[in-house]
Amino acid sequence: MKTITFQLNGEEKRAEVHPGQSLLEVLRETFKITSPKDACAPQGQCGCCLALVDGRPKTSCSVPADKVDGKTVLTLEGVSTEERRLYARAFQVAAGLQCGFCTPGLTLRIKWLTDQERLLTRDEIAKGLDGHLCRCTGYVKIVDAVELIQSAKRGQALPAVVDSGGVGARLAKYQGGELALGDRPFVADIDAPGLLHAAVVLSPHARARVIRVDTSRARAYPGVVAVATARDVPGDRWVGLIYKDWPCFVAEGEEVRAVGDVLAAVAADSPRIAREAAGLVDVEYEPLPPVLDPAEAIRPGAPRVNPKHDNVLSTTRFARGDVEAALAASTHVVTGTWATQRIEHLFLEPEASLAVPLPDGRLHLYTQGQGIFDDRRQVAAVLGEPEDRLFVELVPNGGAFGGKEDMSIQAQTALLARMTGRPVRLVLTREQSIRMHPKRHPITMSYAVGCDAEGRLTAAKVSLLGDSGAYASVGGKVLERAAGHACGPYRVPAVQVEAIAAYTNNPPCGAMRGFGVNQTSFAIEGCIDLLAAKVGIDGWEMRFRNALRVGDTFTTGQVLEKSVGLEKTLLAVKEAYYAARGQGRAVGIACGVKNSGIGNGAIEYGKCRLVVEANGTVVLYAGFTEMGQGLLTILTQCAAEVTGLPPRTFVPRIDGRFELGAGQTTGSRATLLGGRGAVDAARKLRADLDRGSSLADLVGREYAGEIVIDDTTAPGQTKNGKVKTHTSFGWATQVVVLDGSGALDRVIAAHDVGRAINPQQCEAQIEGSVHMGLGYALTEELPCRDGMPVTFKLREIGVLRAQHMPTVEVILVEEPEPEGPFGAKGVGEIGLVPTAGAVAGALHAFDGVRRMRLPMKDSPAARAINVGRIPDAERDRWH
Ligand code: FES
Ligand code: FES
């Protein structure tokens, strides 16, 4: 231990620091300074933990604490009130944040950048932000915010924050100012009296028999309060959203099935002690050969990966028309195999969970999951307790993108709280996070697609094989969705599709923004380009001739009756597409379709309660998760529009006070369903207001909103003689333009959003999706060797930085959805569905190479980007 003295936010501080302790640990744990966040410690690659040390920006996770002895350290907490207001306002005006986990670090960097005398250009700003990662925004609006701050520091007035208006208003994000400054806590920022800190022990093997788990050394470690293993679970150890095939602890005598499997969890007086004690849990394994190739996994005789299910997790098959005859009669046929990679969500906030015993014997579980009522149900089952013994509360999370649908560490946290009778907080490291949560599926896709002499599609025969990894998660549904969207947004009279999800000992794969559709989009868009070349027409014309319109039949057999805005999105990009080609630029184009709502026969709900409070507010309770996408703002706008009350009247809250469970926040459905639930409740409040009551008269009143959608059809089935696979679809066309060197230059993204409840947030969702789609196309991957990711380094994983982003132009098209709130249909996922296909088309136009495998790292566009470079020695095995 060493004593250091330093100036922290203008005050002299002393601290005892351990060897190896980082400045970030001292700030957060010793001084309870929470604006610097831990997203990748000790990598120093995301910028979330930024502090100014002697006036210079430093990633505090990579600065040894003893090195700040005698120095000054500034965090956002020490910035003047006036300056803090400026940053908060600029981020709100520009909509420069979504989940907000990256934002405090960025804000401090921006303070440093804009304190310089020189006015920075947009390119210089983007380069200046290179030390920072944002997974949500695509950086466009962050750079907008920096420009506003620069101007304000030179005396120009900032535009006002929009704090009024209902549907259609560019209302500022709910809690945007607090998020920008790091004032709104995430789970890892919440303290509790007597708090214990937890750490988990994960398997180093993808497949091995567990011979013995010996916790004696860990239990004896000073500061350790409890160690939990499978033996301590009083209820059902197996969890899972669809199949209960995932043990929250692997027991002695069982096999581990993935490198994220949990063997033990330790609760201790500090995070450091918990981590050190976790390293003292002795686990004896008998390593077994892992099953790594999905094609091998589904062969007869392959070792069984999961004891609850054979290796074929799911098979989806459907057909319309005589595909073989239609292909034989086609003027042109293209065939090929496309392949996509496993990628990591890389939400910036790693998984965190807090469980606090309440005086009445219940447990208060703070979770950041994408379905808090599913979390409650599963944790209660693990504890062997009735659900009403758990009060569950969402802490809006720092990004999820599907990766927080499955349980991660909620059950282990709750168990330790029950075992100790004390509050317990468990936060994963970045490496543990990557090892544990499900990824985007690698899918191998074989296609044969035909067309007539004019380019009209005739038939498609499609076979898909996805690697679902060690646990079911929602992998079967991902492949089902991939199958349903296999022909993209095109009219294909004869269709034959088979999709298999296979268990392997790779990290599990499950939900990720786009849910299987990005993969098949990449393949079908490649087929469309190949056919267009054979017909002798360009990509825009080929797509326009085949675009689905009202009255046409979707891949699954659903006849589209409403709200098909694809043609409008094609027309919206037409001029830019031909102008860029006319200038001799390499241009790619792709279209996309993505369902909103789960559909496929699922019964879906939108639920809401409005409760009038004595302080003049109305608490808006809902059941879906805010994860940066802006749900709380959208629900507020819906309620404000219906009631005529100002948006600031509404205080959104997601917790277990009412039974508002509606499943996972997935499938672009929170606006569609949650919005309608809010409208339903708001109409009832409005009726009382219209009868002459004031809010003061209505204090204590509750207004329940609930809508049900129960008319979709399971694959292969009909209802009332109709196929209705999905309630609603989003439609899009994207154009990618390269510069003279083959690097990304410009993306034009035209999207039918039904109705833009908040146009600024719609744009922001699409910009962020395009950013994710470009990374998917060019640089992102998570290859594994023997089931273990070969890298956990953020730069190697390949998420694009601000300086890598091309210009993104978003065009919002509104083709109202009659079943959506005010015509809205959800926009969370479709933003990246067409992107990889459009990039592939642009690259082919540039160098004549047709790329059929992602990421396209062999391309000039990827080579112009300095992330995603995994040393060759680390990547000798793919998928
Ligand atoms: S947490 Fe320090 S740079 Fe990521
Ligand atoms: S807003 Fe940047 S990571 Fe979410």
pTM flag (> 0.85): yes
pLDDT score of 716: 81
Phi, psi of 286 (to 5 degrees): -110, 100
Phi, psi of 314 (to 5 degrees): -160, 155
Q: Which ligand is nearest to the CA of 794?
A: 1
**Residue whose CA is closest, atom 3 of ligand 1?**
44
Distance between CA atoms of residues 635 and 674, nearest Å: 7
Ligand 2 lined by 764 (C-beta under 6 Å): no
Find out whether the peptide bond into 350 is cis, omega within 30 degrees of 0: no
Is 863 exposed, middle or buried (CB count within 10 Å of its CB: 0-12, 13-18, 19+)? middle
**Amino acid at position 39, single letter:** A
pLDDT band at 668; cut points 50, 70, 90 = confident
Q: Which ligand is nearest to the CA of 48?
A: 1
Ligand 2 lined by 99 (C-beta under 6 Å): yes
Quick one: CA dihedral 322, 325, 331, 337, positive or negative? positive
Pocket test residue of 136, 175, 179 for ligand 2, highest count of atoms within 8 A of CB: 136
Strands of 31-81, DSSP E: 50-53, 56-59, 72-74
**Closest ligand 1 atom, CA of 794?**
4
- 102 CA distance to ligand 2 middle (Å): 5
Strands 424-427 and 196-202: parallel
pLDDT at 625 over 70: yes
Per residue in 810-825, pLDDT (tens digit) is: 999 999 999 999 999 9
Q: Which ligand is nearest to the CA of 46?
A: 1
Cβ atoms within 10 Å of 872's Cβ, excluding its own:
7
Nearest alpha carbon to residue 464 among 513, 441, 497: 497
Question: Can you tell me the mean pLDDT for 145-157?
Answer: 97
Q: Which ligand is nearest to the CA of 630?
A: 2
Per residue in 48-79, pLDDT (tens digit) is: 999 999 999 999 999 999 999 999 999 999 99
pLDDT at 873 over 90: no
Q: Is 169 helix (H, G, I), strand (E, B) or coil?
A: coil
pLDDT score of 770: 98
Distance between CA atoms of residues 179 and 89, nearest Å: 11
Strands 2-8 and 11-17: antiparallel
- 166 CA distance to ligand 1 middle (Å): 38
Contact 482, 466 (CB under 8 A): yes
What torsion do the CA atoms of 376, 378, 380, 383 make, to the nearest 10 degrees?
-140
Strands 424-427 and 246-247: unpaired
pLDDT score of 874: 61
Q: Which ligand is nearest to the CA of 96?
A: 2
pLDDT score of 877: 45
pLDDT score of 878: 46
Pocket test residue of 59, 433, 794 for ligand 1, highest count of atoms within 8 A of CB: 59
**Residue whose CA is closest, atom 4 of ligand 2?**
99
Phi, psi of 115 (to 5 degrees): -75, -15
Per residue in 167-210, pLDDT (tens digit) is: 999 999 999 999 999 999 999 999 999 999 999 999 999 999 99
Q: How far apart are the two ends of the chain, measured CA to CA in Å?
A: 44
Quick one: CA dihedral 231, 232, 236, 241, positive or negative? negative
**Closest ligand 1 atom, CA of 62?**
2
CA distances from 81 to 78, 110, 162, 705 (A): 9, 16, 21, 41
Question: Which position has the higher pLDDT, 89 or 873?
Answer: 89
- 80 CA distance to ligand 1 middle (Å): 24
Looking at the chain, how many residues does it have? 879
CA distances from 479 to 248, 257, 463, 514 (A): 25, 21, 11, 11
Q: What is the DSSP code (8-state) at residue 422? A: S
Per residue in 741-772, pLDDT (tens digit) is: 999 999 999 999 999 999 999 999 999 999 99
Distance between CA atoms of residues 295 and 126, nearest Å: 43
Distance between CA atoms of residues 596 and 727, nearest Å: 7
Q: What is the mean pLDDT of the chain?
A: 97
Pocket test residue of 45, 46, 101, 629 for ligand 2, highest count of atoms within 8 A of CB: 101
- 97 CA distance to ligand 2 middle (Å): 6
Pocket of ligand 1 (CB under 6 A): 38-41, 43-49, 59, 61
Nearest alpha carbon to residue 512 among 47, 802, 132, 135: 135
Distance between CA atoms of residues 403 and 249, nearest Å: 20
pLDDT at 553 over 80: yes
pLDDT at 643 over 70: yes
pLDDT score of 715: 83
pLDDT score of 875: 57
- 800 CA distance to ligand 2 middle (Å): 13
**Residue whose CA is closest, atom 2 of ligand 2?**
134
Per residue in 318-346, pLDDT (tens digit) is: 999 999 999 999 999 999 999 999 999 99
Q: What is the DSSP code (8-state) at residue 857? A: T
Ligand 2 lined by 142 (C-beta under 6 Å): no
Q: Is residue 639 within a helix (H) or strand (E), and if so which, with residue range?
A: helix 631-643
CA distances from 46 to 40, 60, 61, 743 (A): 7, 11, 10, 24
Find out whether the peptide bond into 489 is cis, omega within 30 degrees of 0: no
Q: What is the DSSP code (8-state) at residue 418? A: H
Ligand 2 lined by 399 (C-beta under 6 Å): yes
pLDDT score of 416: 98
